[in-house]
Structure 1
């Protein structure tokens, strides 16, 4: 993960700043249990500043997390740990770990209001959330041509059908993921695909694909459609095709 972020995000190594050991220990005391190993890594690297990877309205800094608990905006909970503060005045859904749903040395990421309420699950792991943003923002969004596509199958495990096709097309998978998130890249294209992690997952995913030209993207889509049992529905081209 560290090698991937340093390669994809320009200037990250010069701008990220880790939290102090005391801040990390304080957050762990609030959680009331050992922190997920990935979150410990995140705090040691980016607990003060995420540099270019910073989200527009989300503050993942250790200082902000501790301030929210100190000022009693959020109450300690044995299951949910605040990791990201949303500064949106209209709809401040903050980012929490669901520590009871551990996965691959990490845990599920969800959003909810500070005092509770409905959960809006986001990613199976915080690692996938950060890797998705990095590949989307610093590769796909900078490609000359992009598209958004809905892909459906006859069973929930979409990636088991998608992975072999992407492998044959020369894509690598830079960060290991679970069944709810896929990350792929090669020199002239990159793709991310996700679906909401649920106990009963749906047989559908959304993918964003970027490449050097529309023809490149069409060939990738064609290979997926013809070499697998998946069905593609292209919803948007950016910029729009003539």
Structure 2
């Protein structure tokens, strides 16, 4: 994960800054249990500043998390832990860990609107690791590609990405970090793809994708290979910039 972020996010090594051990310990006391190992790593590297990786309205800093608890904006919960405060004025949706739903040394990331009940949670990413990696590739690789497209892969089985991965590998794509069945990240020199599904939604028959490359022909050829080599339906819903 560290190698991926330092490679794709310009200037991150000079600008990220970690939280203090005391701040991390305070957050752990609020959680009432050991923090997920990945979250400890994240706080130690970016718990004070995420540098250019920072989100426009989400504040992941340890200081802000502790302030929100100290102000009683949010109260300690046996399962949910605030990890990012949303500063939007209209319908802010802050991020929480569901500490009862762990995976790969990390935990489920959910969003919750201010004032909403605990049952009104929206599952976002299976892990914080996948959220950050997905966002980094979207902003700093796909966002810089001359041609991009978005759409869905759909089929008759729940593990859609198990059909995508072997095709991408055969075409020279690498996966920069290990992911679960809801997130796919694929890179090669001239193209990058990110895929996402919703955790814990039962028999999920689709994954959305965003795909960037040197030109539309490259993207069409790769998507055609996926459709031909698997039983998946590949639907492109948008091109950026629009194709003539």
TM over 0.5, shorter chain? yes
* Aligned residue in 1 for 2:224: 222
User: Which residue of structure 2 aligns with residue 239 of structure 1?
Assistant: 241
Corresponding residue for residue 86 of structure 1: 86
Tell me, yes or no, if the aligned pair for 2:157 and 2:203 is still in contact at 8 Å. no
Give RMSD over aligned pairs: 0.8
- Count of equivalent residues: 242
> Which residue is 1:56 aligned to?
56
The residue number in structure 1 matching 2:154 is: 152
- Partner Cα separation in structure 2 for residue 227 and residue 130 of structure 1: 30
Normalised TM-score (structure 1): 0.99
Using the TM superposition, give the Cα deviation of residue 227 of structure 1 relative to its aligned residue in structure 2, in angstroms. Answer: 0.7
Q: Is the 8 A contact 1:74 1:114 kept in 2?
A: no
Contact conserved, 1:124 with 1:178, CA < 8 A, in 2? yes
1:6-155 paired onto structure 2 within 5 Å: 6-117=6-117, 118-155=120-157
Q: 2:186 matched to which residue of 1?
A: 184
| Superposition TM-score, scaled by structure 2 size | 0.98
Runs of at least 5 residues in structure 1 that lack an aligned partner in the other structure: none
Q: What are the Cα deviations for residues 114-166 of structure 1, in whole angstroms up to 9, with x where unaligned?
A: 44421010000000000000011000011000000111011010011001000
Shift of 1:113: 2.6
1:207 aligns with 2:209: yes
CA contact (8 A) 1:75 1:115 kept: no
CA distance in 1, matches of 2:11, 2:64: 23
User: Runs of 5+ in structure 2 lacking a partner?
Assistant: none
SS at match of 1:73: coil
Distance in 1 separating the partners of 2:241 and 2:212: 11
Output the CA distance in 1 between the equivalents of 2:77 and 2:116: 10
Cα distance, 1:199 vs structure 2: 4.6
Runs of 4+ with deviation above 6 angstroms: none
Deviation string 1:152-211 (CA, Å, 9 cap, x unpaired) is 011010011001000001000001000000000000000000011015141100000000
What is the rounded CA distance, in whole Å, between the counterparts of 2:201 and 2:135 in structure 1? 24
